[in-house]
Amino acid sequence: MTSSSEPSTTADPATAGPAYSKEKPKPRGDITLLPLAGEEAPFDARADELEALRTGHAAQVHSWELVTAVDGPGTRLSIFFSGCPLRCVFCHNPDTMFARFGTIRTLEQAKQRISRYRSIFRASGGGVTFTGGEAMMQLPFIRNVIEWCHAEGIHTALDTSGYLGAAASDEFLQKVDLVLLDVKSGDEVTYKRVTSRELQPTIDFGDRLARLGTKIWVRFVLVPGWTDAPDNVERVARIISKWKSVVQRVEVLPFHQMGRDKWSQIELDYQLNDVKPPSTEEAQAARAIFRSHGFTTF
Ligand code: SF4
């Protein structure tokens, strides 16, 4: 996920409220959805659970949220999966990096959740967003859910860094309605410094999406002193110019400090204590670079 998009405050009165015990990390906001009846402990035996994880009939889910105007068009059910191969210094949900903060949820439970909001999706032009963490860490599960949504006519969006994109089949990627592709830097050195991983898998993934015709919203987090050098932004713009046939918009997401407390809660070192959010002018300057390459920006 991008880690810089702010959830809206649209609450589901029937389900909004804290979903976790005090031992669990704080959820993203007050729109996290409570467990439904019978959702807890879906498997009696560990072996059954492991088999369900392997076959995509279960996954480690961090939380479910109902959001508007972020994570894709319309009102969406965002499913936050646990586990991520990246270690972004600006991550505002660092608890989603680790599978241990997730809870086992089944395919049937996901379908039940999604079905609950069908009328809202229809009215708002929304759908389901698979995010995290890195949703593609649990590819068999999201493949099953997305195939089901595709058959049911429910819009799907996959929020990803693309780092694990090589594991996804063309057939699967053609069923995803929209990919929210997080391009965290335009040059290798900065990308590694910011995420601890390599940039190339993201480029390869974007190349494939462009070949397949899968729509993309590019997301770029603007972090002063880390990703905001004009040359770095220009490099991102050049990379994504290869995907122009499918890139519908570029979202420049200003870094914020809303995730700072979560780093200390899970006893991780936070390197951005002294970093201030970019000014409106700085964010506009970055957007102007993308616009100069012909992109629509937000
Ligand atoms: S560490 Fe993972 S979850 Fe956090 S911002 Fe980076 S890609 Fe997203």
- Tell how far the Cα of 91 is from the centroid of ligand 1, in angstroms: 5
Q: Which atom of ligand 1 is nearest to the CA of 3?
A: 5
Burial of 44 (0-12, 13-18, 19+ CB in 10 A): exposed
| Nearest atom of ligand 1 to the alpha carbon of 161 | 7
Ligand 1, CB within 6 Å, residue ranges: 1, 3, 84, 86-88, 91, 96-97, 132-134, 161
With residue 173 as reference, give the H or E element that holds it: helix 170-175
Residue 214 has a CB neighbour count (10 Å cut-off) of 21
Q: What is the pLDDT of residues 117-139, one digit of tens each?
A: 999 999 999 999 999 999 999 99
- Nearest protein Cα to ligand 1, atom 8: 1
Quick one: which H or E segment has residue 200?
A: helix 200-212
Choosing from 78, 86, 138, 266 the residue with most ligand 1 atoms within 8 A of its CB, the one to mutate for a pocket test is 86
Q: Which atom of ligand 1 is nearest to the CA of 133?
A: 3
- Coil vs helix vs strand at 297: strand
Cα 160 to averaged position of ligand 1 atoms, centre (Å): 9
Which residue out of 3, 202, 258 has the highest number of ligand 1 atoms within 8 Å of its CB and is therefore the one to mutate? 3
Kindly give the number of the ligand 1 atom that is closest to the alpha carbon of 93. Answer: 4
Q: 2 alpha carbon to ligand 1 midpoint, in Å? A: 6
Give distance in angstroms: CA of 87 to centre of ligand 1: 6
| DSSP assignment of 115-166 | HHTHHHHHHHT-EEEEESS-GGGGHHHHHHHHHHHHHHT-EEEEEE-STTGG
pLDDT tens by residue, the chain, 298 residues: 654 443 332 333 223 322 222 233 333 443 667 777 667 778 888 999 999 999 999 999 999 999 988 999 999 999 999 999 999 999 999 999 999 899 999 999 999 999 999 999 999 999 999 999 999 999 999 999 999 999 999 999 999 999 999 999 999 999 999 999 999 999 999 999 999 999 999 999 999 999 999 999 999 999 999 999 999 999 999 999 999 999 999 999 999 999 999 999 999 999 999 999 999 999 999 999 999 999 999 9
pLDDT digits (tens, 9 = 90+) for 257-266: 999 999 999 9
94 C-alpha to center of ligand 1: Å? 7
Pocket perturbation via mutation, ligand 1, pick of 4, 97, 136, 256 by most ligand atoms within 8 A of CB: 97
Q: What is the pLDDT of residue 12?
A: 33
| Secondary structure (3-state) at 18 | coil
CA dist 200 → 93, 133, 165, 172, 285 (Å):
24, 19, 11, 21, 26
Taken in order 78, 82, 88, 94, the sign of the CA dihedral is: positive
Write the single-letter amino acid at 216.
I
pLDDT at residue number 32: 67
CATH class, range 46-213:
alpha beta
Which of helix, strand or coil describes residue 2? coil
